[in-house]
Each structure stands twice: as structure tokens, then as C-alpha cells.
Structure 1
Amino acid sequence: MNSQESTIVRDRIRSALEESRNRGEEAIQVAAYLDGQLIINEAIGEARPGQAATTSTLFPVFSVSKALTATALHRQAELGLVDYESPVAKYWPEFAAHGKEAITVRHVLSHRSGIPWMPEGVTPELQANWSWMITQIEQTQPSYGAGSTNCYHALIWGWIVAEIVRRTDTMGRPFEQFLREEVLDPIGVTDAYLGLPESQDLRVATLLGGSVPLAGPEDLYLHGMPPAVFPGSVVYNTALSRRTINPGAGIIADAKSIARFFAVLAGRGELDGVRLLSEDRVLSFTEPRPDTEQPDAYMGVPAHVGTSGYWVGGPAPAGYALLGDNPQLLHHPGAGGSIGWAELDTGLAVAINHNFMRDAAGEDPFTPVVTAVRETAAELLGRVGAV
């Protein structure tokens, strides 16, 4: 883009961001890559009291983290160290206890393992204790038969997947180190943290909202995300949460870093000459899990989750229809509305970060941003196609 085109794009994106703020948002970042090139990187709003959001502000991205954690496991599969159809217990023998011997890696990735709930008595302090979390998973009894039920694993999923990675890592690294060295560093992602260093605290946006919903003690929603560790501002604004290695919901990053991660998926496994995954493997990620049109037992509505740990393109329930139903789409939403996605057919990768947490009801305030980003990408692709 020349300078005039860049100005037009910047004005379009900032106008869309302002419209999202008019719909109730506060601080917002958006970044986009097209065919591996950064085309959008903007931010507006107040990130912290008296402090404007910039493109270097860091935001908790909640379950968008799952896309990165899934990719770490796929890296192990790429190296021949993990077989998706093998029992988890092949790599983690203690996992088999209490009737879990039939649960496969694929069952876990697709949220069909039958152990979707967080441990009883979990607290922020216990959640930060990796050994405690792993022992609790080993002692868990399944609530559903392996592979029998679509039931989204809101928080526990991250520890299960990450422990498989850790157990199969030939170097025996902590998961956060593996993620950095095997996924993020090779593709030049510099500002995504799992376990934020204290030196970066003042870069993190203050979360607003996201209070624990009113529900009875038997409500499934709160079994998956218990009040003590519920992904909202009360817990996730704390220093302890920022330090916790929570592979399914704990990454803190700027939008450029998350978009750059999704760019390797949009590039079908390759970015800037670095191949992280094979093209065939990435293309396989778009396969929906079985019974994907049926209501998910946890969410109460169909959740278009794939067999490989990402959400995939397809008919989406109200509140999750932001991106449409492109079958070549890989994405992951996060609590409160953050999202990242990759379009395998267009080469577009996008991340939207923000700090005002909301539920999934009603019209998505990010619709103007998604529209503006895709309009920009279509114009750039059209110009290339016309050459």
C-alpha cells in the first residue's frame, strides 16, 4: 500500500473501532496479516485508568489461548511424537486412572473426552500449582463416555493438552517454554506471554466486567468455570492470574502477536519461509467434530468445534456468528469476546483484543471491525488478482 492507501485503510479501521466503542466497548486492538504481511495494526480507547490503548498494549485473550496450545500439540504430531488416535495414557500413564484409559488425544482436542469440569475446590492459588492440577486430572472420573458427548472443556482442556505436550517433549521442558521455543519464536511472535513477567505488568489493559453469572451450584456452566477462578475481571486483573500457566485461557498478548500466530495457519503451516506444520495437516484442521450440529452439553447450543482443537467455519449459534460459515475458516473465541482467526482460502489472519468483557447475547459489537478488515483484504487481493 502507498501512503494514501494506508491513510484510507487506517481511517476505515479506526472508524469501525469507534463504532464498536459506540456499541459498548472500551479499549480495542485489531491487527491483520494478509499472505504473511501486516496490513492492519490499530488501537483506540482507554486501556488503564488515564492511559490510552496503543498497539503495544497487552490484553488477556482467554480461550483464544487454546488455538496456540492446540498448535503446540500439533507440532509434536508433526515430529511423530504424538498420534491423535492413541490413548492419552500412552503418553501419560497416570491419566488412565478411574476409567479414562479409552480417552484418546483426538477426544481431548475435540472436547469429547468426557472430563470437562474443573477440580472441586479449585482456587486461583491451586490453579497456579501445575502439579496439583495434573494430579486432580488424574483422579477425575469421567462424566461421559469417551467420544460419546460434545461438551466444551472451558478451562480444564488447556492443562490436559499441555501435559500431553510436556510428556512427549524429548527435552522435558515446561509447557510455557515449549510453546515459546517451538511455536512462537520460530515464527517471530514476540509479545504473547503464557506466564507474564512482572516487568510487563504495566502494559496490560485493565479488564472491565465479566462478573460471575447468577446460577445454582449444580449449573454446568459453573462446573466448567467455577466462581473462584471464573474468567472475568475479578480474577484476571490480579498479578497471580497473570503469572499462572493456564494453557487454555491464560495467554496475554497484543493483537499483532495473535494475528501473526494465526498467519501461520492462514499460510497453511508456513510463515516467512518457516514451516511449522505441513499443509495437509493444517487443511485437516477444518474437519468438524461428530454431531457438531447438535447442542453442546456445556454450551446448550451447537458449537462448531473441529476435531483438532480449533473452532471451524460452519453454522454458528446466536452470539457466535461473527465470522460467518466459511468452511476454510479456523478460529477461536475467548471469554468476553476476544477472537482470532485464519482464512485458509484468502490468506487473511486477524486478531481482535479488548478489555470490556461481555456475554454472547445480542449483536456482536465487533461486526463493523470484521467488515472493515475483510473489505480491506478483499481490495488488496483484488488488486493483486488484477495484475
Structure 2
Amino acid sequence: MTTTTPHIVLPRLKKLLEDGIAEDLHAGAQVYASINEDPVADFAIGEARPGVPMQTDTLNLWLSSSKPVTAIAIAQQLEQHNLELDDPVAQHIPAFAQNGKEHITIRHLLTHTAGIRIVPYHYPKDSIERVVQKICKARPEPRWIAGETAGYHLHTAWYLLAYIVQSITGQPYRHYVRDHIFKPLGMNDCYIGMKPETYDRLHDRIAIMSHFDDGGTKGNLTDTESEKAWVSGGRPGGNGYGPMKQLGIFYETLLHGGDHNGARIIEPETVGLFTARHREGLHDKTFQQTIDWGLGFLLDSKRYGEANLHYGYGPLASDDTFGHSGYQSSSAFADPHHGLVVAIVCNGTPGDIPHRTRMFNILKTLYEELNLT
């Protein structure tokens, strides 16, 4: 079943996504793109959950596309002189200094060079506070030089960053991002940790993230990530929910120097600082590719000779493109060279290689159809 909304549709891209539904790569998709804040694509196809059409206002799981929101929350603390990028994490979380971690800084967390990638915890049972306690007791990875050794930190660094924001502001992280990022920008349907009563109200609008195997055959269709405990738990590095059009507003704001319709969340100089190359030319031990990073933002890294990168922005994105992608599902970014913002999610995780191929082709087709080649 495929449905479209009466919004701006790119026919070649729509057909590609429909083919993905037929091939059991995903159940549906949401697409938003704008050039200089003028929408050039805004549509939804397929199903959000069995029998329920995907709509442009469906709340989809962002997974790691959530991470830049935490980065901007830290940027706000930097502007307010509540922290410095080279502050030791232990300056804000004293217990973190255990077991040789006293030299790890906030900058190391934001650039995935801290060396604390793997710390077991149980989500959604463990709160942010409980996860931070476990991270504080952990040891850095052996032979890891903070700031020089690189490897994508899936969750740990983002729990620490969110906890720092909580400690400084006195607000639970999920409330802080709603009050200081989402609501000012009009991202009213976006959450990283939804109140249980809000979940009850919005449940029917939340899409299921379907899971498929690496062979492209329909596998484990589950709604674990749309259950109340998961949605309300608030995992700061991967538990954002909202329509992709509203995530697009976040990137339009950054392209506009931190301002959206008169609502300013950060200053232009801070946008430039956080989206500049702070980690450059380092081999990523998690992704096994050379990938550059800003402060919480993944930067286009085709300059190193490999076009189909983990969390990449396709073969036609400009060198100054910044953003983040989500595990086998989403991509959201800004391409300043073209004034382009893209926010896309496919609600199906088909395996690493099928997804990388899928997103590569999606983004290639989008650029071609917009004549941005």
C-alpha cells in the first residue's frame, strides 16, 4: 500500500522509495527538502504501521540523527559561559575522573575521540543518571589517545553531554531541549524523551521502525521503539521523535545563522564553530573509514576517496555539508553550498550494506532531480 500527501513530490525519488517498499527494505518513508528555506520536497509514502498510512506529520524515530540537538544544547551553554570546550568532563561530573579519565574533555566527547565507546547499560530501564554512573566507573579503551584516536561513540558521550546540560541548567534534558530548541523553532511535535501523558495523546501518530534482515527479506517487525517506555525514556544520542519536516527546520535555522523567523537559538559564530572541521583525517575505529567531524556534526568526507560512507550524504553533496544520520534509517543535513536542507527517514532497517546502498541512491536521486549536480 502506497499513499502520498498533496505536498511537493519528486517523482523519481518517490518511485525509488516505492521500489524499496516492494523489496521489503522499509514500510514507508518521509521526505523533506528545502533550498534557501523554500520547500522543494515534502511528502510521505507507505505505512507508518500496519494499515496506517505514513503522513507528513507522522512522528518518526530519528535514532542518531538526534545527536546534533545535544550538540546545540552544549553550544548554548558555551555561549552563556557555563562551560568551555576544553573543560575536563570531570569539572562538571566529578565522579568521571575515576580510572584514568580525568583528561577527557567536552571537545573529545563531541568529536568521538574520548575512548569510552562501550559501557553496558539497559535502555529504557536505566535513567540518564544511572547510565552516567556506569560510565563514570568505566576505564578508557586501552592504547586510546584522547583527541587523537577516533571511533564513533554510539551512546556514551551523549549521555554525558546531556547530563552536563542537566547539571548546569537544573532542567531534565528532555525538558531543556523542548523549551530551548524545539518550541522556539516551532518544532512542536519533536521530542527526545516524551512525557508518558504526551505519549498517550500522540501514540497513533508514532511510526513503527520495522526491522528487516540483511538479505532484504522481511524479518522482525516489532514496535519496541514505539512503546511507551522506549519513547519516554529519553536516550539523548538516539531517541528523537518527530516529523522529518520539523527536523528540517532545525537545519534551516543553522543555515540561517541560528535564527528561524526571529527566534534565535544560537549565534552565527557558534554555528560556524560547531560545523567546522575539528576532527580531520582520522580513521574511525568504529566505522572503519576516514570521517571528519565538527562538534557533534558529521561532515562530508568524500575527500578521502570513498563515496559510499557510513552516515554519508551521497555522491553529490558539497564538501561543506554537515549533519547526522540515524542507524539504517534516516539522514538529516545542510549543504551550505546549495542552501539545501534534507531530512529523510525510511522506517525500516534492512542491514548495513542494503541501507547504505539505499541512502546513497536516495540522496543521489534527490540531488539529480533538483539539478544540484
| TM-score category, normalised to shorter length | 0.7 to 0.9
Task: Supply the distance in 2 between the matched residues of 1:187 and 1:198 (Cα, whole angstroms).
Answer: 24
Matched residue of 1:117: which SS? Answer: coil
Cα distance in 2 between the residues matched to 1:63 and 1:301: 18
Matching of residues 136-175 of structure 1 within 5 Å: 136-143=134-141, 144-169=144-169, 172-175=170-173
Work out the CA distance in 2 between the residues paired with 1:11 and 1:90.
53
Rate the CA distance shift 1:204–1:150 in 2: closer, same or farther, 3 A.
same
One-letter identity of the residue aligned with 1:327: D
- The alpha-carbon deviation at position 375 of structure 1 amounts to 4.8
8 Å CA contact retained: 1:75, 1:277: yes
Q: What amino acid is aligned across from residue 319 of structure 2 in structure 1?
A: P
**5 Å matches for 1:115-126?**
115-119=116-120, 122-126=121-125
C-alpha change, 1:291 and 1:341, in structure 2 (3 Å) is closer
Give the structure 2 partner of residue 193 of structure 1.
191
Aligned to 1:223: none
TM-score (norm. length: structure 1): 0.82
1:133-282 matched pairs, under 5 angstroms: 133-143=131-141, 144-169=144-169, 172-196=170-194, 197-209=199-211, 233=222, 235-282=224-271
Counterparts of 1:100-115 in structure 2 under 5 Å? 100-115=101-116
RMSD: 2.7
1: CA distance, partners of 2:213 / 2:17? 24
The counterpart of 2:293, out of the listed 301, 306, 327, is 306
Aligned to 2:3: none
2:346 alignment partner in structure 1: 354
- Cα pair distance change 1:99/1:235, threshold 3 Å: farther
Q: 1:337 aligns with which of 329, 353, 357?
A: 329
Partner of 1:99: 100
Question: Which runs of structure 2 are paired with 1:15-164 in the superposition (5 Å)?
Answer: 15-22=15-22, 24-119=25-120, 122-127=121-126, 129-143=127-141, 144-164=144-164
How far the C-alpha of 1:291 sits from its partner, in A, is 5.2
Number of residues of Structure 1 aligned to a counterpart in Structure 2: 349
> Structure 1 residues 317 and 149 mapped into 2: Cα distance closer, same or farther (>3 Å)?
farther
TM-score, normalising length: structure 2: 0.84
SS at match of 1:43: strand
CA deviation profile, 1:284-322 (whole Å, cap 9, x unmatched): 33433445342x1222222x2413011001225645344
Q: 2:307, 2:99 → 1: CA distance?
A: 35
**2: CA distance between counterparts of 1:191 and 1:373?**
25
Q: Which runs of 5+ in 1 are unaligned?
A: 1-5, 213-231, 380-387
State the percentage of identical aligned residues.
26
Q: SS of the counterpart of 2:337?
A: coil
